[in-house]
Amino acid sequence: MKTLNIGLIGAGRMGAFHGQTIAQRIPGAKLYAIADPFPQSAENVLQHIGEEAKIYTNPLDLIQDSEVDAIVIVSPARTHSENVIQAIEHGKPVFCEKPMAVSIEEMKAIKKAAKKNPVPVQVGFNRRFEKGFEQAHQEIVDGQLGDVQLLRSNTRDPELSGPEKKPEWTIFLETLIHDFDTLMYLNPGAKPVEVYAKADALIRPDLKENGLLDTSVVTITFDNGCIAVADASFQAKYGYDVRAEVFGSEGMITLGDIKTSSMQKFNTAGASYQTTRYDQDLLFDAYVDELKHFVKAVQNEEVTPKVSIENAEWALYLALASIESVKTGLPVKVEDVISLQLKEEAM
């Protein structure tokens, strides 16, 4: 099979990891080019991983490079949809880090482009590639848990990085977006009906007036009766904490393990173990496997990879409904937020 030349857009913290994965962890893939408005960032990534690639400062130039077969977008969230659409319009398969879009208008434009020019489009919901989450999903599909009645998912970052630079609503659009997708993955076939969200600035109360919300709890009810809760914090002093729980009529599944290894130490202070501090350590395999899946989907010309535009769209609805709920202080019907958002953007 021909080596897939991949163009990477965005050479920051996550772009460096995905760049190394493309170059060194996926047989049949090559890191052919990197685009970043700061070329030094691309150079740093290449130097760090010991590879060579073309460097662009404009993502569109990379997309238009006829040697580039597929695109991986790892730039800031608010730039994603433009590059996703450009990639699709140039007939290039695209993997986009979450969120694929930050508004319904952007999502609609992506769907329109994809309908006109179908190519594989995948979003970076890596929990769908974590072995335990995958296994839980299958158990639920197979009916092993009976009816799903209660669900829980959380994302807690180890520390609040760059709080002054975080765009408004980041906690919903970039952090809880993972949990929204996880809740849908663990409640297969069900659709969310209503969302009630609370959020506050508990870590940096001084930044609340700048729009920074660093802590949140969201309750979601589904059309199969299941009640779900997602929570997020930008600062868990004990490490990077991603867990979930599914409670059904026939039992319960718990997911997520923040221990770095099976070692537990017992001494006069009691019992203890080390915890994972970094997302790329906790979910290393999932991050690699999602890109392996993308490369395989492109090589096999599968237009709908495992995590599709539709999954990106539902998670976005839940994020936008949460934002609306925080603004109004009221529960919000998912249907209403879709139409409200469309109306606002038409004005």
Ligand X SMILES: NC(=O)c1ccc[n+]([C@@H]2O[C@H](COP(=O)([O-])OP(=O)(O)OC[C@H]3O[C@@H](n4cnc5c(N)ncnc54)[C@H](O)[C@@H]3O)[C@@H](O)[C@H]2O)c1
CA 255 to chain centre: 17
* Residue 36 lies near ligand X (rule: CB under 6 A): yes
Return the closest-CA partner of residue 64 out of 37, 87, 35: 87
Give the residue nearest to ligand X (CB).
12
Pick the piece of the chain touching ligand X (CB under 6 A) from 26-34, 71-79, 218-226, 297-305. 71-79
Pick the piece of the chain touching ligand X (CB under 6 A) from 11-19, 84-92, 248-256, 266-274. 11-19
Which of 21, 126, 182, 276 is in the footprint of ligand X by CB under 6 A? 126
Alpha carbon distance 236, 273 (integer Å):
16
* Residue 174 lies near ligand X (rule: CB under 6 A): yes
Pick the piece of the chain touching ligand X (CB under 6 A) from 32-40, 190-198, 299-307, 321-329. 32-40
* Residue 166 lies near ligand X (rule: CB under 6 A): no
Alpha carbon distance 175, 158 (integer Å):
13
* Residue 79 lies near ligand X (rule: CB under 6 A): yes
Pick the piece of the chain touching ligand X (CB under 6 A) from 72-80, 100-108, 203-211, 320-328. 72-80
* Residue 15 lies near ligand X (rule: CB under 6 A): yes
Interface residues for ligand X in 266-295 (CB under 6 A)? Answer: 279
Pick the piece of the chain touching ligand X (CB under 6 A) from 10-18, 103-111, 307-315, 338-346. 10-18
* Residue 101 lies near ligand X (rule: CB under 6 A): no
Angle between helices 309-328 and 176-185 (to 10 degrees): 120
* Residue 38 lies near ligand X (rule: CB under 6 A): yes
| Cα atoms in the Cβ-side hemisphere of radius 13 Å centred on 302 | 14
* Residue 14 lies near ligand X (rule: CB under 6 A): yes
Interface residues for ligand X in 204-263 (CB under 6 A)? Answer: none
Alpha carbon distance 168, 213 (integer Å):
8
Size of the site for ligand X (CB under 6 A): 24
Alpha carbon distance 119, 275 (integer Å):
40
* Closest distance of CB 153 from ligand X, Å: 13
CB burial class (10 A; 0-12, 13-18, 19+) of residue 38? exposed
Cis peptide before 39 (omega within 30 of 0): no
* Closest distance of CB 94 from ligand X, Å: 13
| Closer by beta carbon to ligand X, 35 or else 85 | 35
What DSSP line would sit under 102-142, residue for residue?
SSHHHHHHHHHHHHHS---EEE--GGGGSHHHHHHHHHHHT
* Closest distance of CB 97 from ligand X, Å: 4
Pick the piece of the chain touching ligand X (CB under 6 A) from 69-77, 214-222, 263-271, 320-328. 69-77
User: What is the end-to-end Cα distance of the chain in Å, rounded?
Assistant: 50
* Residue 23 lies near ligand X (rule: CB under 6 A): no
* Closest distance of CB 319 from ligand X, Å: 12
What DSSP line would sit under 37-74, residue for residue?
SSHHHHHHHHHHHT---EEESSHHHHHH-TT--EEEE-
Alpha carbon distance 246, 54 (integer Å):
46
Number of H helices, E strands in the chain: 12, 15
The backbone torsions φ and ψ at residue 290, rounded to the nearest 5 degrees and listed phi first, read -65, -35
* Residue 39 lies near ligand X (rule: CB under 6 A): no
Which stretches of the chain bind ligand X, using CB under 6 A?
Answer: 9-15, 35-38, 41, 59, 74-77, 79, 97-98, 124, 126, 174, 279
